[in-house]
Every structure is written in structure tokens, then in C-alpha cells.
């Protein structure tokens, strides 16, 4: 399908349209054909923000995290400033790579460019720092977020569990509930794992009771 559409794009002269080429590269990536996607990207006479964002996301989706971050470096050298969608893509890539120095480069750039910590970007940054081994930076991002939803809270709870800080996960849960955020099944899965990993048996049993009787949450 990708080859057919590629031929149509070239036949009718749409290969000069960055939007059409970016859409085609995205299609190749969805079919795990990253080589043709990259070839198409490299042949573009001019690359806009959409093109860079699509290609970075495509590499990430296909597991080529190093290539995705190299593209991010190239994009910056070309003077293309990412938007929040592009930044979320890059942060997600860094999380998958799990390398601390790369994560710091990305976050330092985010701070230098003054990207606000919205729910999506902030939560993705928490995940990145957690997977790169820095719970301190993850918590710093979390505390700076002005708006948090249940996903943000659950991700931070999961982060404490990931680093075997069961009591801190529980404390954060009580703070979350105190702000009026209702927990969901993901929250409780992270909490129960945290209790298990930190040998908090009584607390885990109490959470299970709250989950079933008070919040009516099922682990499906």
C-alpha cells in the first residue's frame, strides 16, 4: 500500500508537499518500514516541523531510539524549534532508551526553551526520569506541575514503586485523594505492587478493601 501511494504522490507532483511526504513517511512507519520512511525523509528538499516530528515518532515507534534522538539533534542544528508534540515524542524516546545523560540533555533543552509542564509533557518527563534512574528529578517535575490528572499521580506512584519506595507511594496516594482526584485501576495496580515490593502487607490489604468497597474499582 505504501509503495502504491508513494507512486501516486510522485506521479501527481505531490512529492514537493511536505505534508504529503510526512503522511507517507508516517504510513511507512506504521507498517514498520522504517528504511523507506527514512529514505523519503532524507530526499525531502525542505523539512518542516511536521516532517521532523513524524520521522522522530516513526523511529521511536520502530524501536530506533538512538536514531530518533540523533534526528532531534539534527533538527535543532537546522534551527527548527519543536512544539509540545515534538517534545513529547523526544521525551518518550529518551524514556525508552533509558540513558541518564541523554535524558538530561532533553530536559535541559526543554527548560532552556521554557516549555511549560502541561499534563502530557510533565507526565512523560516523570516517566523518562524514572526509567533513567533519577527519582529525584522525576519528583521535581511532578512537584512543579500546576495541573495533574489521575495519570500524572499514578505515574508518580508507579515511580516510587519502581524504586522500592512503598511508603512514599502510599503517602502520595493519600495526598492525591485529598486533592479530590479519584484513583483508577492503574493507580491501584501501582499501589498494590508498591506494597508487595516493600513488604507492606497490612497496607496492601487495606488498599484492596478500599479499591473494592469504597472506590468500586476492578482490576480488569
Residue 122, SS3 per DSSP: helix
Q: For 6-34, what is each residue's pLDDT tens digit?
A: 444 444 344 445 666 677 777 777 777 78
The grid coordinates listed for 13 are 507532483
pLDDT in the model for residue 21: 67
CATH code for 1-81? Answer: 1.25.40
Overall size of the chain counted in residues: 220
Q: Is the pLDDT of residue 65 over 50?
A: yes
Q: For 76-131, what is each residue's pLDDT tens digit?
A: 999 999 999 899 999 999 999 988 999 999 999 999 999 999 999 999 999 999 99
pLDDT in the model for residue 192: 96
Q: For 146-197, what is each residue's pLDDT tens digit?
A: 999 999 999 999 999 999 999 999 999 999 999 999 999 999 999 999 999 9
pLDDT in the model for residue 186: 95
Q: pTM score, two decimals?
A: 0.84
The Cα 96–Cα 212 span in angstroms is 34
Domain locations in the chain? Answer: 1-81, 84-147, 148-220
Q: Which of 120, 117, 151, 154 is nearest to 137 (CA)?
A: 117
Q: Is the pLDDT of residue 40 over 90?
A: no
pLDDT in the model for residue 42: 85
Q: Is the pLDDT of residue 54 over 80?
A: yes
pLDDT in the model for residue 29: 74
Amino acid at each position: 500500500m505504501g509503495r502504491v501511494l508513494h507512486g501516486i504522490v510522485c506521479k501527481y507532483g505531490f512529492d514537493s508537499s511536505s505534508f504529503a511526504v510526512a503522511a507517507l513517511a508516517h504510513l511507512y512507519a506504521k507498517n514498520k518500514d522504517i528504511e523507506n520512511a527514512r529514505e523519503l525523509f532524507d530526499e525531502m528538499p525542505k523539512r518542516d516541523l511536521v516532517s521532523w516530528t513524524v520521522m522522530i515518532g516513526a523511529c521511536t515507534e520502530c524501536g530506533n531510539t538512538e536514531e530518533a534522538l540523533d534526528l532531534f539533534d539534527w533538527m535543532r542544528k537546522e534551527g527548527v524549534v519543536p512544539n509540545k508534540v515534538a517534545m513529547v515524542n523526544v521525551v518518550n524516546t529518551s524514556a525508552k532508551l533509558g540513558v541518564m545523560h541523554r535524558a538530561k540533555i532533553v530536559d535541559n533543552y526543554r527548560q532552556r526553551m521554557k516549555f511549560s509542564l502541561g499534563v502530557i509533557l510533565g507526565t512523560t518527563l516523570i516517566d523518562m526520569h524514572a526509567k533513567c534512574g533519577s527519582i529525584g528529578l522525576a519528583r521535581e517535575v511532578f512537584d512543579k506541575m500546576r495541573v495533574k490528572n489521575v495519570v500524572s499521580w499514578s505515574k508518580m506512584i508507579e515511580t516510587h514503586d519502581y524504586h522500592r519506595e512503598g511508603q512514599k507511594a502510599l503517602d502520595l496516594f493519600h495526598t492525591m485523594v485529598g486533592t479530590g482526584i479519584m484513583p483508577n485501576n492503574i493507580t491501584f495496580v501501582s499501589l498494590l505492587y508498591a506494597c508487595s515490593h516493600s513488604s507492606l502487607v497490612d497496607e496492601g490489604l487495606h488498599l484492596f478493601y478500599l479499591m473494592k468497597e469504597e472506590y468500586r474499582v476492578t482490576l480488569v
